[in-house]
Structure 1
Amino acid sequence: MSLTHFQRYQRWYAALFLSSYIFINNTINASSNIMEAQRDGELPFMIWEPFVWEYSSAISTLLLFPALVWLLKTQPFNWQKIPRSLLLYLLASIAFSLLHIAVMVAIRKLIYTLQDMQYDFGLVWFELLYEYRKDLWGFLFLIAVIKTYQYVVSQLSGEAAPIRQGEDTPENLNFDRLLVKKLGKEFIVRVAQIDWLESSGNYVNLHIDARIYPLRATMSQLITQLEPQGFCRIHRSLGVRLDAIESITPLPSGDSEIKLTTGKVLNLSRRYKEQFKGQLNSTTSHS
């Protein structure tokens, strides 16, 4: 599997890995409950019940996982304000546990009802404390997994940044060339090599042939800075270097397809069509 393929579908691979790990782990836990009960004698439960207990917990965890990613993205741990961050994450762990329990119990009650049985959560305050003890560990474990995964991906993909000239201000950023840090090395990428741009969260992915380099910026900011070098926004999440365009095909919907010299096909949204035409004509008239 090529790095480019992984970069393009990394979210799907991450979701597959996480889902597989959680369900395999919970399957082992369920089978362990059954084996331990059999070793002690007669089963005190139906053989399907441990799987309902474990899988309901797994599904609840997976549903809450995006919220945990959002928390780390919007409220990263501030080492300059440790008490505040500890309090914030403590409250977040409590909310995580309560939501996890709520979804988990709802799934169990639904399945038990379908089986004409009644699910008993137990003594509420005791069970909440019991579950929080486990959920706190799971909360910390998932944070470690997310941060480790992000670090590994950043090291494999590298990260581009404008070359700074003197003071650290937008006016002193050189957008002719970008400095890429990857696997402990640094090398230069010329902006003129970039074929197209793709927004991805807090980053914009720079596509150069089959390679992808993430740059921390918004599409609006980056396009504004790269327009003088022949770049144009063509979609809410896409930008293109005009010199890299091979053909433009109108579509019945009012959008158009832009084919690049590399063979890549991008969507030109109706919203950006007039702006695109104006910039394309301006570039043509000056060439």
Structure 2
Amino acid sequence: MNGQADVEHGVFRPWPRPVTVGFWLLFVALNAVFNGVDAQLSHPELPAWMPWSWECSSGLLILALLPAVVAFERRWPIRLDDWQRRVPLHLAASVVFSLVHVGGMVGLRKLAYAVGGWHYDFGAWWINFGYEYLKDVRSYFLIVAMLAFYRLWRLRRQGEAKLLAEPDDGLPVEPVERPERFLVRKLGKEFLLAAREIEWLQAAGNYVNLRVRGRDYPLRSTMAAIEVRLDPARFLRVHRGYFVNLDYLAEIEPLDTGDARLHLRDGTTIPCSRRYRVTLRERYGQPAAAE
């Protein structure tokens, strides 16, 4: 995929949005159907629509809360190296998740009962909320676990990069401070990637994506940390979120805003902000004042 949309992605390439939305709709719908059948069998004395109103109201609130859970998990993912700090954050988020879920669910049920000429009574709030929270915390962490496993699966297929570490014994075979190669893992195999083959780098949360021959390899680092390890004769920062390998730069397209659009040899375009455009022009021997 060419164009700006090609570089606007995160740590890994997600499924197309219709597939993602369809999956979550199916997941919530199946859960509501199974729970609705169970509730109806458990309360045969009630009108059939009542148990279904319970489960449908719950499912609708889960769907409404899903984007917030996905965004929160993406911002603070639970990882093996820092799960002690992240789990308490998610426990706190699960309480908010449950409060909103229960409050919205009760409101929808009251509305459904009122339409049917009935009155819905949730009962003692704190007692019933404790019961609902025990269910909601399981649902919340099930969603988080599914997101985490999906990310691991995608990263395993896509591949990920690591900086070469200094050996325990002896001297490193090449400079660790400015590596000539990166260790890349994909589908359980490891191989070395030459730094000069990296076309551009993009910040993506706690990762930096290394773009090589049309594929992204996420490296767990920050832009500031990776900047000191890049060869300044080859790599240049062109945006707060991008570095470009000048060997792969084909054209600089000025924009009316003072920014620029960089066209690479493979047809990809990445942004260049006004702040870094001056440095880029100077590297190519053009006066910075010539706008």
| Counterparts of residues 253-272 of structure 1 (less than 5 Å) | 253-272=257-276
Is residue 214 of structure 2 the alignment partner of residue 210 of structure 1? yes
Structure-2 separation of matches of 1:90 and 1:270: 41
Which residue matches 2:83?
77
Cα deviation for residue 190 of structure 1 reads 0.9
- Say if 1:166 and 1:93 are closer, same or farther in 2 by CA, change over 3 A: closer
Q: Report if aligned partners of 1:29, 1:54 keep a CA contact under 8 Å in 2.
A: no
Which residue matches 1:25?
30
Q: Report if aligned partners of 2:122, 2:128 keep a CA contact under 8 Å in 1.
A: yes
- Say if 1:11 and 1:72 are closer, same or farther in 2 by CA, change over 3 A: farther
Structure-2 separation of matches of 1:202 and 1:242: 25
- Say if 1:271 and 1:77 are closer, same or farther in 2 by CA, change over 3 A: same
Cα deviation for residue 229 of structure 1 reads 4.0
Amino acid at match of 2:232: P
Which residue matches 1:136?
137
Which residue matches 2:150?
149
Structure-1 separation of matches of 2:128 and 2:122: 7
Of residues 128-137 and 241-250 in structure 1, the stretch that sits farther from structure 2 once superposed is 128-137
Amino acid at match of 1:132: Y
Cα deviation for residue 273 of structure 1 reads 1.2
SS in 2 for 1:181: strand
Which residue matches 2:203?
199
- Segments of structure 2 that go 5 or more residues without pairing to the other structure are 1-6, 287-291
Q: Report if aligned partners of 1:165, 1:173 keep a CA contact under 8 Å in 2.
A: no
Out of 98, 102, 105, the position equivalent to 2:103 is: 105
Per-residue displacement from partner, 1:131-157 (whole Å, max 9, x unpaired)?
122123223423432332232122212
Per-residue displacement from partner, 1:121-180 (whole Å, max 9, x unpaired)?
3211221121122123223423432332232122212221233344799x7344211111
Which residue matches 2:184?
180
Amino acid at match of 1:149: Y
Q: Report if aligned partners of 1:258, 1:266 keep a CA contact under 8 Å in 2.
A: yes
SS in 1 for 2:152: helix
Per-residue displacement from partner, 1:240-263 (whole Å, max 9, x unpaired)?
111111111111222111111111
Structure-1 separation of matches of 2:263 and 2:199: 11
Which residue matches 2:4?
none
- Segments of structure 1 that go 5 or more residues without pairing to the other structure are 79-84, 283-287
Structure-1 separation of matches of 2:166 and 2:156: 25
Of residues 184-193 and 30-39 in structure 1, the stretch that sits farther from structure 2 once superposed is 30-39
- Say if 1:251 and 1:148 are closer, same or farther in 2 by CA, change over 3 A: same
Cα deviation for residue 187 of structure 1 reads 0.8
Q: Report if aligned partners of 2:239, 2:271 keep a CA contact under 8 Å in 1.
A: yes
- Say if 1:122 and 1:22 are closer, same or farther in 2 by CA, change over 3 A: farther
